[in-house]
A and B are shown apart, each in its own frame.
Chain A
Amino acid sequence: MAFPFGAYADRLHVDRVRQPPRGRMLKARFAGIRSLALRSMGLAIRGVVLVAIGWALYVNLRGLWPIVRKEIRFIVKNPVLSYDQKMSAKWGLYHDYMVFVRENTPPDAVIMTPPQTWPWLSEGNRLLDYYFLRPRILKGGGVEKLEVDEAATHVMIAWGSHGPENPEKHGWPKPPYPPGKVIWMPGQTERWGLIDLRENR
């Protein structure tokens, strides 16, 4: 049997054609490396984005959880509270004082309020007081010294609900009080009360 030179030569030729030159091989190898690098970079980017989203979600939930937990706990513990009780829970003594003033003054009262400076930031905010005391008329009673308006029927005695205790700063107005009947808020004698000026008018 004759050796199939022709077929061998053909195969040799085909292989030579199929075999890429050195430059092309290098290029192919680079392309492989590049695709690997791109794939790794894609994976890295996915990782970074996944971590960023996961982290954002974690930070959000970590920030929100104490707020929701605190509120839900309170609601579960106190499912049935009145409006005033709920407001007391949020505003503390200030709201109790507003209820006290409302209950001890007639709707047509003219009330002198403390100045809106520390420590009377709430009690001195006449707009805030007005929300709870309307339709009563509220007038600013002066900063340094009580200046009683001619039309005034009542004067607030406000210890001040802001800032750390400081007997020198707290307490408005400073005694001696203008002539009138002093009514103290239960449990808050010498601190929170009301002066009824009507008897002396």
Chain B
Amino acid sequence: MMPVVSCLLVIVAFGWVVTLIIAPDLRFLERLALAYGLGLGLMTLLMFCLGLVGLSLSLANMLLPLLLLTVILGGMWMSMNAKKGGRIDVWKIKFELLWPHIVQGFKSLSTLEKIVVLMTILLCLSHLLITSYWPVYAWDALTVYDLRAHLIIEKRSIYEGLMTLKRFTEYGVGYPPFTSLAHTWIYLWGIDNPKFLYSLLFASFLIISYYFLREHCNVLCSLTFTLLLASSPVIFRAATIAYTNFPFTFYIGGGVLYLYRWMHRGTRGGLTLAGLFVGLSSWVRAESHAFFLAAFMILIVYSLLRRKYLAPLWFALLYLPIEPLWRRYVSHSLGSQAPGGFGGVRAAAKIVSSQSLDWTRLVTVFDFLREAFQGQYTIVLLLFTVTALLHLKNLKEHGYLFLLLISNIGLFIAGSYVFSIAHSDWREIPDSANRLFMFMLPLVLCYSALTKPVQDLFTWLEGLLSAKASGGPV
């Protein structure tokens, strides 16, 4: 138990000081969730960089630079705060008030809200129980992600570990390293099952989504849609099997949500968080490029209209250094080919522009996607369709989120279409298509929650519940 707590504390402490510098105005729970997610992603990035400069992979070699960086960043934040004449409290936590505050917050909820909170907590606990019990067992997790982590640990070097795999097979060598390095971090501490990391990422994502919703919706609405997200079987299951799909959903979904938060409310540090999140998504899976480009284009339109000309530049500056890091390493140091990259997007655009749209193929692709999804997204997409249709008159409201969402869905369909042209065996991986689409789910749910009919409904429900609670006329 002690190593688990220690390895988590190190990640959260590192992420905590990073979030303090980037976004000082966050609530405690949201900062905690963000600190974990961001800390984990940036920590794997740091592990890679330390490996790159030749440090052998041992706990001391990874831990000391991480702690040093945490102290330096904490010091930076303290000096920044001191200059502004604010309080110097590096953690910004009033521990003695924390528990009473949580209890008070829970007591202030209505019965229905309490039920929703308890259900969500129950789901998170079941998730943690499942991941803590089962070792890594899913096919791709064994053959690629966890295998690489074991080889890296056995060879005490990222390079040697991957070269051992490469001598055996090229398959999986070039896949982005986030999950393997996260597992490596856990194995370095002598813990034999790294899957609890995914449960914590799952809980963090729920918290981040809740606070996103809370900026626009009332408590009941935010809680209900958070429960909808938590109870989605496709997300719940994907987060228990140590695949890259859920972490990818976490980073790209979180990135889009922070980007929109920044666009809508100008949240301090929102753009930086969005850039880092989308950047880290490229550290998890190779499919982030097209989605980054979509967000980037929409950000350009936004910044031209709002005269925030430097915003797209900053967003790209955060994404672009992370994105090629792994691909360059794979091609130059390992002599293999990494999947993805902007070259893939260019090639896809070339295919689309060089031939006219084949409607029959498009219908076949839709048919394939319908079969691949196995009805797992039907109800959420239906909810989205209903709420979006009823929201048509107010489409301008949250228009940028709608654009971000629609562009991502459009890109997914276009990507599947191009894939069907470029690969003759495209029908053989329905599971991949199914799992990749997963990151749309939180965006779809969040957009649905923000639409006018849903807002009206929950305002009405809130009034109804408070009138009942106070004994007044309903």
Contacts and interface: CB of A to CB of B under 8 A. Distances in A.
Interface of A: 42, 45-46, 48-50, 52-53, 55-57, 59-61, 63-64, 67-68, 71-72, 75, 83, 86-87, 90-91, 125-128, 130-131, 134, 138
Interface stretch (B49-57, B167-175, B206-214, B291-299): B167-175
B415 interface: no
Interface of B: 123, 126, 129-130, 133-135, 137, 139, 142-144, 146-147, 150-151, 168-169, 171-172, 192, 224, 227-228, 231-233, 236-237, 376, 379-380, 382-383, 386-387, 390, 453-454, 456-457, 460
Contacts of A128: 139, 142-143
Nearest to B169: A127
A63 B236 CA distance: 11
Given A57-B228, A75-B133, 11 more contacts: A49-B386, A49-B457, A56-B380, A56-B382, A57-B224, A57-B227, A63-B376, A67-B233, A71-B126, A83-B192, A131-B146
Contacts of A138: 168
A45 B126 CA distance: 35
Contacts of A127: 143-144, 147, 168-169, 171-172
7 contacts: A52-B383, A52-B387, A53-B228, A75-B130, A75-B133, A86-B137, A127-B143
Contacts of A46: 453, 456-457, 460
Nearest to A45: B453
Contacts of B134: 71, 86, 90
Most buried by B among A46, A49, A57: A49
A59 B382 CA distance: 12
A73 to B, nearest CB: 11
A162 to B, nearest CB: 13
A125 B134 CA distance: 22
B237 A67 contact: yes
What are the 9 tightest A-B residue pairs by CB atom distance, in nearest-first order?
A60-B231, A63-B233, A127-B143, A59-B379, A90-B137, A131-B142, A64-B233, A56-B379, A49-B453
A72 B129 contact: yes
Contact of A125 (B135, B143, B172, B386): B143
B15 to A, nearest CB: 29
A52 B133 contact: no
A67 B453 contact: no
B143 A49 contact: no
A53 B231 contact: no
Given A83-B135, A127-B171, A131-B142, A45 B231 contact: no
B126 A72 contact: yes
Nearest to A91: B137
A91 B138 CA distance: 9
Interface residues of A: mostly helix, strand, loop or mixed? helix
A53 B130 CA distance: 27
A56 B126 CA distance: 21
B169 A67 contact: no
B233 A71 contact: no
Nearest to A54: B224
Contact of B137 (A45, A52, A71, A87): A87
Nearest to B236: A64
B233 to A, nearest CB: 4
Contacts of B456: 42, 45-46
A53 B135 contact: no
A50 B455 CA distance: 11
A53 B192 contact: no
Nearest to B382: A52
A134 B237 CA distance: 29
A61 B230 CA distance: 10
A72 B132 CA distance: 12
B409 to A, nearest CB: 18
A87 to B, nearest CB: 6
Contacts of A55: 379
B143 A87 contact: no
B386 A75 contact: no
A43 B260 CA distance: 30
Contacts of A71: 126, 129-130, 133-134
A67 B143 CA distance: 24
Contacts of B453: 45-46, 48-49
Nearest to A138: B168
Contacts of A60: 228, 231-233, 379
Nearest to B143: A127
B213 to A, nearest CB: 13
Contacts of A91: 137
A50 B236 contact: no
A134 B456 CA distance: 60
A45 B451 CA distance: 12
Most buried by A among B172, B379, B382, B390: B379
Contacts of B460: 46
A126 B169 contact: yes
B236 A67 contact: yes
Contacts of B383: 52-53, 56
B385 to A, nearest CB: 9
A164 to B, nearest CB: 21
Contact of A49 (B142, B231, B454): B454
Nearest to A122: B139
Contacts of A68: 123, 126, 130, 236
A68 B172 CA distance: 31
Most buried by A among B123, B130, B150, B380: B130
